[in-house]
Amino acid sequence: MESLQPRAMTATATAQGPAHGQGPTQGPAHGRGRPCVITRRATFSASHRYWLPELSPEDNQARFGPCSLAPGHGHNYTLIVAMGGPLDGDGMVLNLSEVKHAIRAEVTAQLDFRYLNETWPEFDLSRPEGRLPTTEALCQAIWTRLAPKLPLVGLRLHETDTLWVDLLAPGSTPTPMEAFLSIRTHFAAAHRLARPELSQGENEAIYGKCARPHGHGHNYLLDVTVRGPIDARTGMVCDLAALQQLVDDLVVEPFDHTFLNKDVEHFAATVPTAENIALHIADLLSAPIAATGARLHKVRLQESPNNAAEVFAETPQLEMVPAALEALVAG
């Protein structure tokens, strides 16, 4: 199919005649020309195996663990496609049925119920430029297929609920060179919000019920996002198992089933608000993650379905702006 450009950008968009509710001599209506980002979700199921022919069976097993086992294993993938552009006279960035068709033709019809290692040439490991079909590499391969068809601003690919990758529109280069890899984990902990130099009454005036003397607990959801270039052969931003181990060793194990104020030294002197916990986690993880070759991008700590704190570790804290990838999904 032809490339889908945002309709308001094309000459044909104005040649289509008056849009709904707009007389032939009327000016802009329905936001025509104003920019907007739209998202479309698609799903597919596929299998893969992490196995590099140049490595011995022992080395494959050591590097990729159970992902190296024959004949492979599968995932139910969820893809979120974010597209941007000005609205046309019909109040749309793009016609959704055309978007749906492009995603089906270029991606899901080619991948659904397939063995990824044998689908696209990017994953043909007998070629020197072949790479493992990791979530990062798969997301980038999808980008190269959709970018000529749709005005992409971002892609998110979920392998599971606890592992996903984001790519963002790179500006002038045709394919994003870096990926954002996120992992989700959780821990349960209690805390009390109170400053020791204040009276109980003063603390309750600031922190409300959270200042009650014996604390309360949360099931915290922790999302850690790292960014980096995708390795040309392994298809990975970093060693996923090593990243998960760092988060487990430095955060989950010391924080889980604790009373944070008393059991985690940092919070003896720092009020363990969600914000302070997220900042402390970012401080704990930054250097060890840098040692793996990736960079810590963001820590998101969700205390309850109603509140979360996000720390963007790479930007000066007073200039924190949520990255464009936030347009991709809610929550």
Tell me, yes or no, if 319 is annotated catalytic. Answer: no
* List 36, 75, 186, 210, catalytic entry: 210
Report the distance separating Cα 138 and Cα 202, nearest Å.
Answer: 54
Report the distance separating Cα 124 and Cα 107, nearest Å.
Answer: 17
What is the DSSP pairing of strand 114-115 with strand 35-48? Answer: parallel
**Best CA proximity match to 237, nearest among 96, 121, 139, 125:** 139
Tell me, yes or no, if 2 is annotated catalytic. Answer: no
How many other C-beta atoms can be found within 10 angstroms of the C-beta atom of residue 301?
A: 27
Handedness of CA 324, 328, 329, 330 (dihedral sign): positive
For residue 295, give the DSSP letter. E
* List 106, 136, 159, 303, catalytic entry: 303
Tell me, yes or no, if 238 is annotated catalytic. Answer: no
From residue 36, how far is each of 10, 64, 83 by CA, in Å? 16, 41, 8
Catalytic site positions: 210, 257, 303
